């Protein structure tokens, strides 16, 4: 209600006092935001946030510079002064170089101090790509009514299974007797009780086959 009340008392003289569309919009937005922020005050809620691992390359100076960058963005967004916009872009360029150099120095020191350099390199790559592994749940496998949670034992079980599955498939089953004596024609006699006529092939010469081929029409594929 207070927000509507403040808007109702505005005369919008700054908006209609000029014919430039950009200036009109900026004046309108400034007045609107002034009423909005004065009516709706930010309140901090005590909500438990997930703790994120802090990056070692983020220093206090970088944090202050990021906050200053946000302030400059708010100023440049509401201003048409080219000097302010140029200052903001230049500040962003310098801050980007500072962050890049801070990361480079931090990761170089991490690799130099590491005993397993290849593992450290892949850890850095995954962290930059956002692929940090989360070991939240433990893997378990049930084998012969026995639950196994040890990772090495589980790996050996899968290894033994996949290395022997081909041999088990190729091994003849002893519980299927006379498997080699069954002929395909026996299945036809089993499922089709009617008499199956025999196919009789007549002899044909090569000339007859050539005539049949010539009568066929060619089709484009």
- Using one digit for the tens of pLDDT, what is the confidence trace for 61-118? 888 888 888 888 888 888 788 888 888 888 888 989 988 888 888 888 888 888 888 8
Query: How does residue 179 score in pLDDT terms, banded at 50, 70 and 90?
Result: low
| pLDDT over 80 at 138, yes or no | no
Whether 110 contacts 124, CB under 8 Å: yes
Query: How does residue 48 score in pLDDT terms, banded at 50, 70 and 90?
Result: very low
Output the CA–CA distances (angstroms, integers) from residue 89 to 58, 85, 122, in the order listed.
21, 6, 33
Segment among 76-80, 117-121, 163-167, 214-218 with least mean pLDDT: 163-167
**Statement: the pTM of the whole predicted model exceeds 0.85:** no
Rounded to the nearest integer, the mean pLDDT of the chain is: 77
Of 44 and 78, which is predicted with more confidence?
78
Using alpha carbons, select from 163, 165, 167, 22 the residue that is nearest to residue 80: 22
Of 170 and 112, which is predicted with more confidence?
112
| pLDDT over 50 at 151, yes or no | yes
What is the arithmetic mean of pLDDT over 109-137? 77
What is the arithmetic mean of pLDDT over 137-153? 79
DSSP state of 205: -
| pLDDT over 70 at 38, yes or no | yes
Segment among 3-7, 19-23, 207-211 with least mean pLDDT: 3-7
| pLDDT over 70 at 50, yes or no | no
What is the arithmetic mean of pLDDT over 129-148? 71
| pLDDT over 60 at 201, yes or no | yes
- Say how far apart CA 90 and CA 84 lie, in whole Å: 10
How many Cα atoms within 13 Å fall on the side-chain side of residue 176?
A: 7
Whether 144 contacts 161, CB under 8 Å: no
Segment among 20-29, 37-46, 152-161 with least mean pLDDT: 37-46
């Amino acid at each position: 209600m207070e927000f509507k009340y403040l808007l109702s008392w505005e005369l919008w003289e700054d908006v209609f006092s000029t014919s430039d569309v950009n200036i009109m919009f900026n004046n309108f937005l400034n007045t609107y935001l002034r009423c909005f922020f004065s009516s709706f005050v930010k309140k901090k809620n005590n909500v438990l946030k997930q703790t994120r691992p802090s990056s070692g390359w983020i220093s206090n100076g970088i944090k202050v510079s990021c906050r200053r960058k946000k302030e400059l963005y708010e100023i440049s967004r509401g201003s048409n002064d080219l000097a302010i916009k140029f200052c903001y872009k230049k500040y962003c360029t310098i801050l980007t170089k500072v962050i890049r150099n801070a990361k480079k120095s931090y990761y170089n020191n991490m690799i130099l101090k590491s005993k397993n350099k290849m593992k450290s390199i892949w850890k850095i790559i995954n962290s930059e790509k956002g692929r940090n592994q989360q070991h939240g749940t433990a893997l378990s496998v049930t084998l012969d009514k026995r639950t196994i949670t040890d990772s090495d034992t589980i790996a050996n079980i899968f290894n033994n299974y996949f290395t022997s599955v081909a041999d088990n498939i190729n091994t003849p089953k002893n519980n299927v007797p006379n498997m080699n004596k069954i002929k395909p024609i026996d299945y036809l006699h089993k499922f089709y009780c009617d008499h199956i006529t025999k196919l009789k092939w007549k002899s044909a010469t090569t000339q007859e086959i050539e005539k049949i081929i010539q009568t066929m029409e060619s089709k484009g594929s």
